[in-house]
Amino acid sequence: MASIFTKIVNGEIPCHKVAEDDNFLAFLDINPLVKGHTLVIPKKETDYIFDIDDRELGEMMVFAKKVAKAIDKTIPCSRVGIAVLGLEVPHAHIHLVPINGIYDIDFSKPKLKLDQDEFLSIAESITKNI
Ligand code: AMP
């Protein structure tokens, strides 16, 4: 069965897209730790990130770097942290989280509730800075 992220890639369910190329997609996390929390995924579904072949994994990181730089320009933060968990969705993804301190990337804390307009405006602002 296709992962929820493959359904996003195929346009079967919506996302707040930040960036896309032939092989990768970046979109806002629906339960963000902070404003600007973004996921980067390969379009080709692989569960575990370290099962992705070397070349694609390298390209995924380069794509994530471009997105992270744009998040950095958009959201006031000390830097953009990265994390890989994969405990919930079996489709490899990198979390990009603008952080000012360790608390901002604590995945056990309550997530933000943003309305659709906020998601839209954050995604658009990051996209403009790419
Ligand atoms: P994990 O697999 O542990 O890295 O967690 C999966 C992440 O994907 C969580 O942060 C979820 O909030 C996020 N997520 C799950 N479904 C969606 C979705 N449809 N759109 C955006 N983010 C999602």
Pocket test of ligand 1: the residue of 7, 13, 18, 29 to mutate, having most ligand atoms within 8 Å of its CB, is 29
- pLDDT, residue 30, reads 98
Please give the C-alpha separations between residue 21 and each of 75, 96, 98, 104, in angstroms, as whole numbers. Answer: 23, 17, 22, 28
- Tens of pLDDT along 28-86? 999 999 999 999 999 999 999 999 999 999 999 999 999 999 999 999 999 999 999 99
- Local structure of 8: helix, strand or coil: helix
Is 95 an annotated catalytic residue? no
Whole-structure pTM value: 0.98
Confidence of residue 1 (pLDDT cuts 50, 70, 90): confident
Distance 55 CA to ligand 1 centre (A): 25
Residues contacting ligand 1 via CB (< 6 Å): 4, 15, 29-31, 39, 85-89
Q: How big is the CA angle at 24 (ends 19 and 26), to the nearest 5 degrees?
A: 40
CATH superfamily of 4-128: HIT-like (3.30.428.10)
